[in-house]
Amino acid sequence: MSNLTPAKGKEQPGLRYPSNGKTIYHRPLNRAKTSELSQASFAYLFSEMVGYASKRIESIQDLEKRLNTQGHPIGLKLLDLLLHREPARTQTRPLTIITLLHLIKQQLWTHLFGRAADGLEKSSDPSRPDEYMIIDNEPLVNRYISVPRDMSQLNCAAFVAGIIEGVCDGSAFPARVTAHSVGKQQATPAADGGGEDGGEGKEMWPGRTVFLVKFAPEVLERESFLGKG
Amino acid sequence: MPVQVFSFYIFDRHTECIYSKLWIAPPPPRPLSTVPAHTSNHELSPSPTATALHRQSAPPASTTTSAVGSNNGGGGAYRDSRSAAARAKDDAKLIFGTVFSLRNMVRKLGGDDDAFISYRTAQYKLHYYETPSSLRFAMLTEPGALSMRNVLHQIYINLWVEYVVKNPLSPVEHKNGEGVKNEMFEMGLDKFVRGLM
Amino acid sequence: MKDLVACPTLVFPTVDDTNTAYRGVIALLIINKAGGLIYNRTFGEGLNQLNSNDYLVLAGTFHGVHAITARLNPLREHQAAHYHAQQQHQHQASGSLGGGGSSGGGGQGGPLPSRPEPPSGLEVMETENFRLQCFNTQTGTKFLLFTDTMQANVDVAMRKVYDLYADYVMKNPFYQLEMPVRCDMFDRKLNSYIREINNSR
């Protein structure tokens, strides 16, 4: 920031340029790869984003849709950056569902949250071969969020789902991505004494979130052709 | 360990302030004048240096005025002293309101056997002691002071009971601090408190 | 003084029961800047449970008492006088410099006059059965932590509670300012923190 001095001689109203002519856009793209942001400032920003999105909504789905829409362009744009940062050999667009999902689980997650996602699963239901699940035990965007009782289906990680959707769309794998809370231990305090059926994940990770990726039929169709070839 | 005592109040069971005494010097006369008026009516408080400064200078210089009760004498000539007396009277009322509210709050939360002992702010500490006959003692000291509970208790049994209760000339009820103008009690109290400082 | 203290009639009831001695942090109340109770949680035995209306009254009363205790500073006259003297000094200094010391300005040439710190209200209250620590934030929100009389490091606990409040209440998009705090995350983090310090003794 120290080199942000106005250009000599001519007064420039508005934008200021560094004296050496180098802006943030002149920096090599890999330079900021490991830089970090304040989580508090992100939390406040995200809080305002959620507040903005919840104005005049008809339903919870509405709100999630809006958050999704906010995330979508980020995913589209991030895809280019992520591929650019890959080593030259692997700098190709993912061609199969599995490589795409791996890109999301590893590169995208590391870029956004500083760690890989906690799980990647294919739907066990044979009638839904188009559904995949990316699991995050503690989504960073939800770190400080307590969802009110009357909005219990809401998961603000819909924003992250939007980013994933953007990445999928950008790689020509059109998909619908939604975020679902599965660690519902806190929402039903009455049942938490008897209901031990939930498995170990619920107790440990109250904020556990599943991102359900549902690919469009043409993606599956193409995938099956590729598999044969 | 010496402790700076600021003031002492006794309230009777009719919630009336029947005795009060200050051990702090009256404030230096305020310069009238060129100074803008915007600060004059605010409660201004402690820069740490100010506190330190006055703590050093206060005890030796202290003129001990028994403020409450003397407020209707004096006449109009000394505006300053009269308003100081009025302020002291207001203070006594505020202190009683405070300790009474806190005492009730404490009883509500801690049970009927619980008793409010003291509170402190950054500027002072208030110690409270209530006798079974609903006589209430309050003492304001510097904030770092340790518990003054036994001091208040001593004042009760060794000064109040000895010199006021056992004094056949002392009235049973002390309207407006009358009767607590008791030389023995006042001298004993002053000596006792100065011994602490 | 010595002989007075050694007086044999001096008998005070002491906190004797073992179950009342170590209770750690008993309860937390948060009062908003208008005196409304916005959070109320009990962590352990030791205080009477009141009904919710009584808690509201208590919060309002405490709010008023707190304001009065801030005004009762016995040295305020002295400090005001001291401040005045300081101000006048500054005023003269700025006057001699030729700068127009207008009433609002307060010496624009010299250093800013040191503004006295605002009087703090009640910070700690002690009773026979419990201890109440009050933390008043810059914005006027009050945190009341009730502990047993032996509890140490309440400042640290208070700091942590404030941290949790700043994180899990103020950063929560669904929390409306000055309204009652209903944040699961805050409850959860607070509970586990208090349990931790209560168990560590």
Taking CA–CA distances from C105, the nearest residue in chain B reads B36
User: CA-to-CA distance for A59 and A53, rounded, in angstroms?
Assistant: 11
**Partner B contacted by C196 (CB < 8 A):** no
User: CA-to-CA distance for B138 and B194, rounded, in angstroms?
Assistant: 17
Which residues on B lie below 8 Å from C91 (Cβ)?
34-35
Which pLDDT belongs to residue A202?
52
**Partner C contacted by A45 (CB < 8 A):** no
**Is C117–B46 a contact, with Cβ atoms under 8 angstroms apart?**
yes
Q: DSSP characters for A113-181?
A: HSS--SEEEE-S-TT-TTEEEEEESS-GGGTT----GGGTT--TTHHHHHHHHHHHHHTT--EEEEEEE
- Residue range A192-228, pLDDT digits in tens: 444 444 445 556 888 899 999 999 999 999 998 887 6
User: CA-to-CA distance for B82 and B86, rounded, in angstroms?
Assistant: 6
**Partner B contacted by C2 (CB < 8 A):** no
- Residue range B145-182, pLDDT digits in tens: 999 999 999 999 999 999 988 988 888 887 766 667 88
**Partner C contacted by A135 (CB < 8 A):** no
Q: Does C77 or A162 have the greater pLDDT score?
A: A162
Q: Do A186 and C184 touch, CB atoms closer than 8 A?
A: yes
Q: Do C63 and C142 touch, CB atoms closer than 8 A?
A: yes
- Residue range A39-71, pLDDT digits in tens: 999 999 999 999 999 998 999 999 999 999 999
pLDDT mean over B75-82: 49
Which amino acid belongs to residue B187? M
- Residue range A23-32, pLDDT digits in tens: 777 777 776 6
**Is B119–C48 a contact, with Cβ atoms under 8 angstroms apart?**
no
Q: What percent of chain B stands above pLDDT 90? A: 45
Which pLDDT belongs to residue A190?
40
The answer to whether residue C117 scores a pLDDT higher than 70 is yes
Neighbours of chain A (3+ CB pairs under 8 A): C
Q: Do B173 and B52 touch, CB atoms closer than 8 A?
A: no
Q: Does A191 or C77 have the greater pLDDT score?
A: C77
**Is B122–C120 a contact, with Cβ atoms under 8 angstroms apart?**
yes
Is it the case that chain A and chain B have 3 or more CB pairs lying under 8 Å apart? no
**B5-25+77-196 — its CATH code?**
3.30.450.70
User: CA-to-CA distance for C188 and A207, rounded, in angstroms?
Assistant: 12
Most B-contacting residue of C77, C89, C115 (CB-CB within 10 A), to test interface: C77
Most C-contacting residue of A57, A141, A145, A154 (CB-CB within 10 A), to test interface: A145
Q: A44 is written with which tokens?
A: 């406040």
**Partner C contacted by A43 (CB < 8 A):** yes
Distance from CA of B100 to the nearest CA of C (A): 10
User: CA-to-CA distance for C26 and C131, rounded, in angstroms?
Assistant: 10
> In this prediction, does ipTM exceed 0.90?
no
**Is C74–B124 a contact, with Cβ atoms under 8 angstroms apart?**
yes
User: CA-to-CA distance for A101 and A99, rounded, in angstroms?
Assistant: 5
Which residues on A lie below 8 Å from C173 (Cβ)?
46-51, 54, 145, 156
User: CA-to-CA distance for C20 and C34, rounded, in angstroms?
Assistant: 34
Which pLDDT belongs to residue B178?
65
When CB atoms are compared, the residue of A51, A149, A186 closest to C188 is: A186
Would you place residue B195 in the very low, low, confident or very high pLDDT band (cuts 50, 70, 90)?
Answer: very high
Q: DSSP characters for A60-105?
A: HHHHHHHHHHHHHHHHHHHHHHHHHHS-GGG-S---SHHHHHHHII
**Partner A contacted by C164 (CB < 8 A):** no
Instruction: Give me chain C's average pLDDT, please.
Output: 81
Cβ partners under 8 Å of residue A227, min gap 6: none
**Is C83–B44 a contact, with Cβ atoms under 8 angstroms apart?**
yes
Q: Do B20 and B8 touch, CB atoms closer than 8 A?
A: yes
**Is C119–B43 a contact, with Cβ atoms under 8 angstroms apart?**
yes
- Residue range C135-146, pLDDT digits in tens: 999 999 999 999
Which amino acid belongs to residue C9? T
- What is the DSSP pairing of strand C37-42 with strand C124-127? unpaired
**Partner A contacted by C185 (CB < 8 A):** yes
**What are the residue boundaries of the structural domains of chain B, listed by start?**
5-25+77-196
Which CATH topology does C4-72+117-199 take?
Beta-Lactamase (3.30.450)
Most C-contacting residue of B121, B146, B151 (CB-CB within 10 A), to test interface: B121
Which pLDDT belongs to residue B179?
61
**Is B121–C65 a contact, with Cβ atoms under 8 angstroms apart?**
no
Which amino acid belongs to residue C12? F
Would you place residue C18 in the very low, low, confident or very high pLDDT band (cuts 50, 70, 90)?
Answer: very low
Q: DSSP characters for C3-70?
A: HHHT-TT--------HHHH---EEEEEEE-TTS-EEEEEE-SSSSPPPPHHHHHHHHHHHHHHHHHHH
**Is B34–C91 a contact, with Cβ atoms under 8 angstroms apart?**
yes
